[in-house]
Structure 1
Amino acid sequence: MEIMVFFSLLLLVCSVSTNPTEADNEIVDQQISNQQPCQQDIHAVLREMAVSLAVQKLCSEVKLIKLLFTLLDHSTKLKELDGHETELDRQTTEIDQLKQQLQDKQVAFSTSLLDRGTLDIGPFNTDTTLIFKQVFTNIGNAYNPHTGIFTAPVRGVYHFECHAYGYADIMTRVELFKNGERIFIILELQPSHIWTSSNGASLLLEAGDHVFLRLSANARVRDSQGHHTTFSGHLLFTM
């Protein structure tokens, strides 16, 4: 009898615990309603973070594009500057060439055998190149006062003149040479007195050709403070 009563009470308790009441249902509904706003807030935050990251990425890309355009602009300006420098160098080279051509066309010299005093040159046993030491004019520096040789700087026609002073019974014989070719002779011989003889020629010279005066063997020439023995020349025109 007691056992039957116990089982009856147990079944009653189980039936009460397994059937939810309205209060229980309200509690569950409240928990569900509290969870839904929380999930919605998380999704909203995630969306905002995604948008923020996208905006930051876009800003970074825009900055990168601006930087690339800036670099491209600088590169273009550098190329333009290089082009200007190249053009400036070309113009400078042309100006230097024109200056050199102008200087080459300005050729003239005038010299005398002695720079001071009175002196006889010769006679010698062999032909001797005369060195004119007194330089009055040497435009273009084509005449060398150390060797007595004129060197043509450009191809053209040049005119040369020579005056030679002699005296007494020793002949005066001076020859003008173009490289190894004799062009003309100044020759004078008298038993007494003094004399001055001269000669001249216009020559077509190539650049680098040499022109000089040579005193013949056994001949003599004199110069003094009056500068009677002279050698001069100038460029007439280029060719």
Structure 2
Amino acid sequence: MNVVGYLTLTLVVIVKTATFSLLTDDNVHNSTNQDLVGVDGQNVDVFRQLLNQETIIRMTLVKNVHALMKDMLTLKEDLAVAKQKLSSTDHEISVLKTEVQELKLENHVLKNESRVQSRRLAEMERNITQISENHQEFQRNSDVDRKAFELNVSDILADIKIEVRYLSITLLDLNAYTRQMENDILVQKNLAMFESVNSSLENFNVMLMATDNKLSTRVSDLEKSQGGVLSSVSDYVNTTVGSLKAELKDSKFEQLKLSSTVTSLEMFRMNLTKNNCDLKKVAFTAGVTSASSTWNSGTLVFPVVINNVGGGYSPSTGVFTAPTEGHYVFFVAVVEYSSQDIRVDIVLNGYSKVRAIGYSSAGAQTGTNMAVLKLQQGYTVWIRHHGGKGYDTQSTPFTTFSGFLL
């Protein structure tokens, strides 16, 4: 389009030049130098005006030509730039064509995938429809089966109720029969026991007769030396035999007597155990004989046992375990190490009860405290670190832990 414009502008300039040349008869020299002789004044004025106009037109044309030349140069430069842009545009067009081709391929692939997905979607819809139909069919079948099951359950429950009634009647009959059997067994046991007792009595009578014979023989021998002893022994034997016979006649009385005896013995044993526990003494004192400058956590163990009545204190763990219920008194004394602060607690079953503090204001500051605690059998008491660091002692301990039962 720019080239065509330039060509059109050039043609217009040429036509204008030719037109102006016609006014001067194709002469380009200045017409003011022509011979004006023989020309009348009016024509001369007109001719001068024409010459002036021609001069103005020529100057304007020259300016236009110069401007046109500049425009031509500019157009050439623009044309070169346009050619470069056109070449780059061609490259971009080729790139765009390539991208369009790739997009077409992708579009084709997407169309194929879309068709595949459409087929899959249609298949899924068919499957969903089939599943829905199957679900409805299953629901209908389930309703039918449920109704049939409810009818069967109702019939079965009615049969079970009838069977339960029959079983109740049978259990009542069985209970009555069991009671009758128990009575019969009890009677048979009593008869067997009575037979056994009678047999035992007969055997005992035989033994008594034999014993009487032996005693008679021995008594006859002893009569010669000890007449008074014979009468006493005979009375004692007769009394013992009579009491044994009286006790053996009633076996139930014997069983009750034995049961009462066993109960009395058990109560006596329990009272004896309680009295032994009440009379048991519990007391301990333990200490440490080696100082520590770094102890800062856990249980303070007193490994040196001075006294441990009742065995409640463990020197390996530092824990006292109450061997019996009661009120106990506990006392702790701890000496801080080399102006270091130390704080310990008397602990019952993991809960701190009282605290002993040895401040670090001066050396050998001692923290002491005492607690009276009610303990059940198996309760535990120990000394636990609360704050500070280290403790001091000597071979004769002055960091100690003591306790006793009130």
TM-score range, shorter chain: 0.5 to 0.7
Equivalent runs, 1:34-45 vs 2, <5 Å? none
Q: Which residue of 1 aligns with 2:339?
A: 169
Whether 1:120 and 2:292 are equivalent positions in the alignment is yes
Preserved contact between residue 335 and residue 365 of structure 2 (Cα < 8 Å) = yes
Preserved contact between residue 109 and residue 139 of structure 1 (Cα < 8 Å) = yes
Task: Quote the Cα distance in structure 2 between the aligned partners of 1:168 and 1:138.
Answer: 31
| CA shift in 2, pair 1:66/1:189, >3 Å | closer
| CA shift in 2, pair 1:66/1:153, >3 Å | closer
Preserved contact between residue 123 and residue 217 of structure 1 (Cα < 8 Å) = no
TM-score of the aligned structures, taking structure 1 as reference length: 0.57
Equivalent runs, 1:177-188 vs 2, <5 Å? 177-188=347-358
Moved more, 175-184 or 94-103: 94-103
| CA shift in 2, pair 1:190/1:95, >3 Å | same
Cα distance, 1:92 vs structure 2: 7.5
Cα distance, 1:184 vs structure 2: 1.1
| Higher relative contact order, structure no. (Cα contacts within 8 Å, ≥ 6 residues apart) | 1
- Which protein has the bigger helix share? 2
Q: Which residue of 1 aligns with 2:282?
A: 107
Preserved contact between residue 135 and residue 145 of structure 1 (Cα < 8 Å) = yes
Match of 2:269 among 90, 93, 106: 93
Identity rate, percent = 26
Q: Which runs of 5 or more structure 2 residues have no equivalent in the other structure?
A: 1-200, 209-240, 249-253
Equivalent runs, 1:151-230 vs 2, <5 Å? 151-216=321-386, 218-230=388-400
Q: Which residue of 2 aligns with 1:21?
A: none
Q: For residue 229 of structure 1, what is the amino acid of its counterpart?
A: T
Preserved contact between residue 122 and residue 218 of structure 1 (Cα < 8 Å) = no
| CA shift in 2, pair 1:208/1:98, >3 Å | closer
Task: Quote the Cα distance in structure 2 between the aligned partners of 1:121 and 1:96.
Answer: 50
Q: For residue 354 of structure 2, what is the amino acid of its counterpart?
A: F
Q: Which residue of 2 aligns with 1:130?
A: 300
Task: Quote the Cα distance in structure 1 between the aligned partners of 2:302 and 2:404.
Answer: 16
| CA shift in 2, pair 1:94/1:169, >3 Å | closer
Q: Which runs of 5 or more structure 1 residues have no equivalent in the other structure?
A: 1-64
1:174-201 residue CA offsets vs partner (Å, 9 max, x unmatched): 1110112111111122244222221101
TM-score of the aligned structures, taking structure 2 as reference length: 0.35
Superposition RMSD on alpha carbons, in Å?
A: 3.4
Preserved contact between residue 342 and residue 387 of structure 2 (Cα < 8 Å) = no
Q: Which residue of 2 aligns with 1:47?
A: none
Q: Give the match's secondary structure for 1:220.
A: coil
Q: Give the match's secondary structure for 2:395.
A: coil
Preserved contact between residue 108 and residue 138 of structure 1 (Cα < 8 Å) = yes
Equivalent runs, 1:51-70 vs 2, <5 Å? 67=203, 69-70=205-206
Q: For residue 165 of structure 1, what is the amino acid of its counterpart?
A: V
Whether 1:143 and 2:143 are equivalent positions in the alignment is no
Q: Give the match's secondary structure for 2:308.
A: strand
Task: Quote the Cα distance in structure 1 between the aligned partners of 2:314 and 2:345.
Answer: 18
| CA shift in 2, pair 1:109/1:133, >3 Å | same
| CA shift in 2, pair 1:98/1:207, >3 Å | closer
Preserved contact between residue 161 and residue 198 of structure 1 (Cα < 8 Å) = yes
Q: For residue 281 of structure 2, what is the amino acid of its counterpart?
A: Q
